[in-house]
Amino acid sequence: MPKLDIYHDTVKHALEKDNWTITHDPFFLKIGERKLYADLGAARLISAEKGHEKIVVEIKSFIGKSDVNDLENAIGQFFLYYQILKQREPSRLLYLAVNETAFNGIFAEEIGQIVLADPMFRLIVFDEENEVITRWIPA
């Protein structure tokens, strides 16, 4: 099992505060003989007519020596998980979770804006001190 991101529990608590039920911790993905683990799976009741909304969340701290390298790694992992989920569990939406600092840093720059402009990309921004979600992108 992979090492948990430093913000794992923070994001978990923030999702719970936002009325999500954590269904998987971690979320196991198997493709062929390979085993992959996204950080969290969650669900919440939307309405009686719509059923449950289900998501998978990959958490990234962006505390490496290079924000660009952290972004490259996060986007690569996001894309891989996105493709696997599209085949294995198409009802689940994948989100990358980052803190406000990363969002206001690399994601506010032109390089981050290119990533955010892609319609397949989804981002959760969280406040690590208050353990709350501040943005869902797209909203």
Residue 32 has pLDDT above 70, yes or no: yes
Cα-based torsion angle of the residue sequence 61, 25, 33, 81 in order, rounded to the nearest 10 degrees: -50
Check whether 95 has a pLDDT greater than 90.
Answer: yes
Please tell me the distance from the alpha carbon of residue 124 to that of residue 15, in angstroms, as a whole number.
Answer: 10
Nearest to 99 by CA among 42, 139, 60, 47: 60
pLDDT digits (tens, 9 = 90+) for 59-78: 999 999 999 999 999 999 99
**Class of the domain covering 8-59+70-91+108-137:** alpha beta
> Model-level pTM?
0.93
Whether the predicted pLDDT of 46 surpasses 90: no
